[in-house]
Chains A and B, each alone.
Chain A
Amino acid sequence: MIVLQDITKTFNEGADNEYTAIHGVDLKIDADRVTVLRGPSGSGKTTLLTLIGGLARPSSGRIHVNGREVTSLPERFLTHMRREVFGFVFQSFNLIHGLSVLENVMIPAYPLGGPGRELNARAVELLETLRIAHKAGTEVQYLSGGEAQRVAIARALINDPPILVADEPTANLDTALSLEFLDIVRELRGRGKTVVMTSHDPMIWQADLVDAVVAMRDGRIVDSGVDPGGEGTA
């Protein structure tokens, strides 16, 4: 479970272009659920997601992940916690060009120094479950959008984190591929993973597998209800 208490994020603190993107947010995200952050563009969804996932630190407030206070952790330990707990799927996938699919998937595990054979087997297995194993040797810049996303998901899961974080996962996909993505999320949820994602796509937050939809506007939470589709306007 992730608990956010009075979280504020201010960019460029003290400079002329100082901007507060998140204002005093309190939020609880339950384990083993699928939570969606929704809201118009610029409402702070991505920013909040980076704070939840430990990619950035809040300017004030506290975040607890599985009961542990993480905001004051030094960078080194924040990173250790992050790679144990979170897997990230980025909006633009962010695969490393010039490397093969397999290599991209294994990259997050490199600093852990586990046995190579095991790592390789795990990566191949993940690619198989995501039905992309036939492209294992392809360099990632030659993949289509849907394929790239599946590679990104495999990479996010390589260290077997309990929580998957995804930013606008369907923004670059057509409807058919979006539905396929939802199938993958369903499967992950079935395996007991927690999923947190942002989306301004109704198809996502109205999907029946979503447990909670958090609505945001101007850096504040306007609705943190658990009834999906309850508030039908964006």
Chain B
Amino acid sequence: MTVWLRRQKRLIDYTVASLLRRAARNFALLAVYTLIVFVLATVMLFTHALRQEAMVLLDGAPEITVQRISMGRHDLIPASYVDAIADIRGARDVRGRLWGYFYDTANGANYTLMVPDGDRYGAAPDVGETVAGAGVARSRGVVPGKYLFLLSPRAKLFKLKLKDVLDADSEIVTTDLVLMAESDFRAFFDVAPDVHTDIVLKVRNPREVAKVAEKISNALPDCRVVTRGDILRTYDSVFNWREGILLALLGGAIFAFVIFAWEKASGLSAEERREIGILKAVGWETSDVIKMKMWEGAVVSLGAFLTGYVLAYIHVFYFSAGLLEPVLKGWAVLYPRFELTPQVDGVQVATLLFFTVAPYIAATLVPIWRAAITDPDAVMR
């Protein structure tokens, strides 16, 4: 075993030295390889992060959401519907919610205004008070105890005392939240007292979600019933589909890269040919040469993969995938926020390996073998 290890170490040392000796020649390959990994990794890291964000958001979402649809658009839902739904067997904790988006002309940011529901965000604010997300507090420069001024859509100025700031780290999705009391909310948006934005409920037995959803949509034909599972599945398949299409398009690039790698591996210089001939003549066996060359492939792949992946990681999580923006714009509509949480995922890394390293190695196997079977007596001529 130690002999085996030492032999591999020698072969690696040798191959690293010979790579460095031909650094200029190998640079082009390494650059292209790194670029391929970088582009693919960017797409995958980006979509994965988006998907994760969506999942986090949905994690706290209710099992069933009921929205009223009027003329094909989302409409406010009458409070009477809450009772209608509460009567359905299996439905639990039926509540009307109040929330809305608000464009703050003061600094051009979008806030989510909401009447807290339960104690997910701690104690609910009283009338005239607010609890805001860290992002809101920071951008408006308000600290607890001071006042947050908001100009309502009806151009009425609201003055809310900031009671507390939501913990910045605990939940990324809370950063743009502004929580307020129900009466303040209704006054701010001028919402009638007997309607809600939508209705949410829980279901006693998770296996009955589909059945309960069906009953609701039968009882309230003007409503759309969305289950958490529906949202998850839609998000997931939309993300997967987009990512898959992009990768299929990039398939062309991978193919070109494979051809390039094959070319590179087959087109040995006279110098390299001579070197392999010498190795064989002084006692290296064909499989030693193959192993040495495989190590070379492994070193190149590792270098390109790590560099490409790290660059993609930095690109996506520190520069919000700026280079891909024109291509990926469609996603921004679906999910507007762009502060992605760093995520590294094993399945994804393995997938990326299959897209880049596996084709590279496969493309170089035959050329490596060809080079390795050089006749040992070639150097005598």
Chain A CB within 8 A of B120 CB: no
CA distance A109 to B127 in the complex (A): 85
Majority DSSP secondary structure for residues of B touching A: helix
Which residues of B253-286 have CB atoms within 8 Å of chain A's CB atoms? 271, 274-275, 277-286
Q: Pick the contact of A155: B3, B10, B282, B379 (CB < 8 A).
A: B282
Q: Which chain A residue shows the least CB distance to B6?
A: A113
B7, CB-defined interface residue at 8 Å: yes
B284 adjacent to A110 (CB under 8 Å): yes
Complex Cα distance A79/B380, Å?
Answer: 16
* A159 to B284 Cα, complex, angstroms: 12
CB-CB under 8 A from A111, the residues of chain B are 7, 10-11, 283-285, 288
Tell me which of B21, B287, B380 contacts A167 (CB under 8 A).
Answer: B380
Indicate if A108 sits at the interface (CB-CB under 8 A): yes
Q: How far does the Cβ of A40 sit from chain B's closest Cβ, in whole Å?
A: 18
Query: Of A110, A113, A115, which contacts B14 at CB under 8 A?
Result: A110
List residues 265-315 of chain B with CB under 8 A from any CB of chain A.
Answer: 271, 274-275, 277-288
The reply to whether B11 and A90 form a contact with Cβ atoms under 8 Å apart is no
- Asked if residues B17 and A99 are in contact (CB atoms below 8 Å), the reply is yes
* Interface size of A in residues (CB-CB distance below 8 Å): 35
Cα–Cα, bound, A96→B14 (Å)? 12
Using Cβ atoms and an 8 Å threshold, which residues of chain B touch A88? 281-282
In the complex, which residues of chain A have a beta carbon less than 8 angstroms from the beta carbon of B278? 94-96
Binary per-residue interface labels of chain A (32-73) against chain B in the complex, 1 for a CB within 8 Å, 0 otherwise:
000000000000001001100001100000000000000000
Beyond A46-B380, A98-B21, A112-B7, is A79–B279 a contact (Cβ under 8 Å)? no
The answer to whether B283 touches A108, judged by C-beta atoms less than 8 angstroms apart, is: yes
Contact partners of A75 in chain B: CB under 8 A: 285-286
- Complexed CA–CA distance, A8 and B60 (Å): 84
A76, B286: Cβ atoms closer than 8 Å: yes
| Interface range, B side | 20 to 34
B83 contacts the other chain (CB 8 A): no
| Contact residue among A56, A103, A112, A113 (Cβ-Cβ distance under 8 Å from B376) | A56
Q: Is the CB of A90 within 8 A of B3?
A: no
* Distance, CA A99 to CA B280, complexed state (A): 17
Q: How far is the CA of A115 from the CA of B6 in the complex (A)?
A: 7
Smallest Cβ distance from B333 to chain A, in angstroms? 56
Give the docked Cα–Cα distance between A75 and B21 (Å). Answer: 30
* Distance A50 CA – B377 CA, assembled complex (angstroms): 7
How far does the alpha carbon of A91 sit from the alpha carbon of B380 in the complex, in Å? Answer: 7
Q: Report the bound CA distance from A111 to B4 in whole Å.
A: 9
Q: Does B93 contact A (CB under 8 A)?
A: no
Q: Return chain A residues, CB-CB under 8 Å to B285.
A: 75-76, 79-80, 111
| Chain A residues whose CB sits within 8 angstroms of the CB of B271 once the complex forms | 97
Which residues in B have their C-beta under 8 angstroms from that of A99?
17, 21
Q: Which residues of A contact B (CB under 8 A)?
A: 46, 49-50, 55-56, 75-76, 79-80, 82-83, 88, 90-92, 94-99, 103, 107-108, 110-116, 155-156, 159, 167
* Besides the known contacts A90-B281, A107-B14, A167-B380, 6 further A-B residue pairs in the complex with CB atoms under 8 A apart: A55-B375, A75-B286, A83-B283, A95-B278, A107-B282, A108-B282
Question: Can you give 15 contacting A-B residue pairs, CB < 8 Å?
Answer: A49-B380, A50-B377, A55-B281, A56-B376, A56-B377, A75-B285, A76-B285, A91-B380, A94-B278, A98-B21, A99-B21, A103-B17, A110-B10, A112-B3, A116-B10
